[in-house]
Structure 1
């Protein structure tokens, strides 16, 4: 606010319609019709315009002063300047302001000559009119429910339908190849966050008015397959963005109305998750496209991979029913994150049982390596040359001795998801004489070693650009594996980039994209699809 002197002048101005300014204006002529008035102000003089608008009214005003600069100040009932709105302005500036009881405007001619000023009220909105735009809903059912609530209705019938039909709520979309998926939670006090779902990030749900309905709607591909969970009333507190983000783990749980739980035998809802599939979700080989769901089960036994230095890892060995170590077509699969691929979310041994029994795959044996924990996993799988050499050397010898097989590189395949996918591409590149095949599931190709400056090229792409050995790579990524933070590279982008590099070089690369996210529900089917593409009979 500048310190120029202002001379309050008792106005003789009356506005003939709309919002009234001046001593004779009354509350009866308040309205939202824009109004206009021409003022004549001498050089160095001021004009006060008193508002009769209700407290909290929004005004959009335009002033026209073509020849002399003007100041405009909002002043309260005690004469205290509240806000300088214009300072030495010419032309036709527009202002936006909210007025309170007793407020008035002081217009001052800062020029050396008298000037004519046009004052136009382009829009006024009273507090009662400030409801904002009517809410719009992607879901037709939510649109109807919102109208019912506005008319005094309740939500009991809506929730009864959801309990009967299950959630999320799936409705037709006008967009070809998509449906409307609405994720729903009942009765949170403060907030609800969706973990997973058809999005690149965890989504905050919106409350439907003051009801007990919290929702988030998406247009979802008909081919989608997703796991998800809800975190109601996530604690939010003073701390970093990451601290507040991971706080959802405190309340994360399954959707109580979902008909397709994951980890259904888990001891409580917090250990369970939920699944949704679009009406045209692709068949996952070995899961449901089988003629003999009761195929004989293979055997799983546990062992330890060791080194003299005490670097040890648990490994589970899978061998199919009627395993014959002397068969020449045996395929050896080495799979990272072994325990996660032996759950009902990703039952790889059972899926292999069926595909092998039906003759769609040759005899496949698997070494499922345990990552120990998250910290050790982050050390081993992030392009670690010592770990790569250990696995390709001493540990592969132990694996093959334990299984009684000796396949060549063409019959060995390394596979993994996320960091495991990154390690797969790295180790296959470093040891193509050991692993002639790699299955990369959502590889974390955004990762780069400290100090790497690839001038925009992902580290793994640069590695294969510099030297591309003759390895068959099968890669996949999810449509929802895009960058959470604008400007950051993502799994989807970097996997496509590596695919393009290998394609240009004429290498043997296969690439698939799925309507899913960073999800074992996707990876289980991608893994068996990759095995069929590489070794299928």
Structure 2
């Protein structure tokens, strides 16, 4: 099965900028300063990358310079793969420039001071081919696959030690955040904070005809005699394993920003299975509703009240969270959708706002909904705003947020906590 793809809408090109630091280095090199290059790299090592510089008269933006150090003579091109900043459709702006005769490759952008995101580099022996001036469906698909293959060759920034783990054999990504990026106070473990525990289980699904691995979070001092709210968090292999959400839940509970709850996080298995299951797939919804939640209720005391049940997801997982509320409101009453793939529609054809149309055409349901999208998600941002307006016009209890970034776990990690706080506010 070939996974569907979002509409082929070219990415808006990022705004290029000139780095004062790079300009100074070039002047020093031109003047023959013998220590210019080692002094530059020593400063970079102390500050970390990317370089972030102010812009005179513009307090809302910064010059952000991505750097690659490569003394090898065979490297002919270095590409920046930055989430929702660069891609094949803006290839000229994705290419780093080498200062002749040095090991300095660089590319600078003017970016919002609130930006947070992940990125990688690809160093190539031969230049990556330019896309054709006029693309048809076949050439666009081929180019997209070639760009995705680059992602398997990419590597994180050796000069930046902040990493975002990946899954399914993909390389990790580097994380950057600018000075005004919103804090993520709940993500890191806190000394002395009571710790819950995470268990792994295997749950059989009659709907899927298969077993699924599930990560389960139990709050600190879990009491088997207490009935707990429940969170279903999709893409469990990320949140239960690669990018554990346990510290976030522990901290929120410790600060009384979230009631103690049980979280169940089903495995997405692999990319092809994920595309199938999280594409408004009724057998997967049946697994969540009829297999996973009853299994959790048999093992621990958890509520069957939809008003105290949250389903949360990102990207296709966000789409699934919204679909679960639409099709099973008797079980899922709180929907947390981060960068939901609301471009999706059955068979990849028809109404571009299919999900919004489903909500518009149905009677209002007893749902509480939190939507979030990145300002750089050029396809999803307008579609999510449209969905927000449709839900508001129907009278739904809907909250909405935008982050200065892209389609990125680096952003979702912090704002997942915000969504949970919002949806559970008022709970005892």
1:530 aligns with 2:419: yes
> Matched residues in 2 for 1:390 and 1:299: separation?
24
> Matched residues in 1 for 2:224 and 2:258: separation?
16
Which residue in 2 is equivalent to 1:103? none
Render the CA deviation track for 1:363-416: whole Å, top value 9, x for unaligned: 121001101111011111101122223322233211221223233000001111
Measured after TM superposition, the shift of residue 275 of structure 1 is: 1.5
Paired residues of 2:257 and 2:421 also in contact (CA < 8 A)? yes
Alignment partner of 1:231: what SS? strand
Q: 1:208 to 1:447 in 2, by over 3 A?
A: farther
Paired residues of 2:196 and 2:217 also in contact (CA < 8 A)? yes
Measured after TM superposition, the shift of residue 449 of structure 1 is: 1.3
Alignment partner of 2:183: what SS? coil
Q: 1:375 to 1:216 in 2, by over 3 A?
A: same
Which residue in 2 is equivalent to 1:319? 218
Find 2:174's aligned residue among 274, 280, 303.
Answer: 274
Paired residues of 1:477 and 1:513 also in contact (CA < 8 A)? yes
Q: TM-score with structure 2 length normalisation? A: 0.83
Render the CA deviation track for 1:279-331: whole Å, top value 9, x for unaligned: 1221224226x9x5331221211112213473221111110111124445x32
Q: 1:246 to 1:451 in 2, by over 3 A?
A: closer
Which residue in 1 is equivalent to 2:304? 407
Paired residues of 2:369 and 2:423 also in contact (CA < 8 A)? no
> Matched residues in 2 for 1:260 and 1:526: separation?
18
> Matched residues in 1 for 2:239 and 2:382: separation?
26
1:435 aligns with 2:337: no
Paired residues of 1:227 and 1:273 also in contact (CA < 8 A)? yes
Find 2:367's aligned residue among 462, 471, 482.
Answer: 471
Which residue in 2 is equivalent to 1:221? 112
> Matched residues in 2 for 1:508 and 1:285: separation?
26
Q: 1:299 to 1:444 in 2, by over 3 A?
A: same
Q: How does 1:133-532 map to 2 (within 5 A)?
A: 138-153=18-33, 155-174=37-56, 175-187=58-70, 189-197=75-83, 199=85, 201=87, 203-233=94-124, 240-263=142-165, 271-287=171-187, 292-308=190-206, 310-327=209-226, 330-343=228-241, 346-450=243-347, 452-454=349-351, 457-467=352-362, 468-482=364-378, 490-532=379-421
Instruction: Considering Cα pairs closer than 8 Å and 6+ residues apart, tell me whether 1 or 2 has the greater RCO.
Output: 2
Q: 1:152 to 1:182 in 2, by over 3 A?
A: same
Paired residues of 2:76 and 2:127 also in contact (CA < 8 A)? no
Alignment partner of 1:279: what SS? coil
Paired residues of 1:478 and 1:513 also in contact (CA < 8 A)? yes
Paired residues of 1:234 and 1:251 also in contact (CA < 8 A)? no
Which residue in 2 is equivalent to 1:51? none
> Matched residues in 2 for 1:151 and 1:451: separation?
59
Paired residues of 2:84 and 2:407 also in contact (CA < 8 A)? no
Alignment partner of 1:155: what SS? helix
Alignment partner of 1:450: what SS? helix
Q: 1:326 to 1:510 in 2, by over 3 A?
A: farther
Paired residues of 1:223 and 1:280 also in contact (CA < 8 A)? yes
Alignment partner of 1:492: what SS? helix
Paired residues of 1:224 and 1:277 also in contact (CA < 8 A)? yes
Larger-Rg structure? 1
Alignment partner of 2:174: what SS? strand
Paired residues of 1:285 and 1:528 also in contact (CA < 8 A)? no
Q: 1:370 to 1:451 in 2, by over 3 A?
A: closer
The structure with the largest helix share of the pair is 2
> Matched residues in 1 for 2:406 and 2:289: separation?
30
Render the CA deviation track for 1:156-205: whole Å, top value 9, x for unaligned: 32222111211100110232212111000012611112122561536222
CA-based RMSD: 2.6
Render the CA deviation track for 1:7-28: whole Å, top value 9, x for unaligned: xxxxxxxxxxxxxxxxxxxxxx
Structure 1 unaligned runs (5+)?
1-135, 483-489
> Matched residues in 1 for 2:420 and 2:53: separation?
35
Total equivalences in the alignment:
386
Q: 1:197 to 1:250 in 2, by over 3 A?
A: closer
Alignment partner of 2:210: what SS? coil
Paired residues of 1:452 and 1:459 also in contact (CA < 8 A)? no
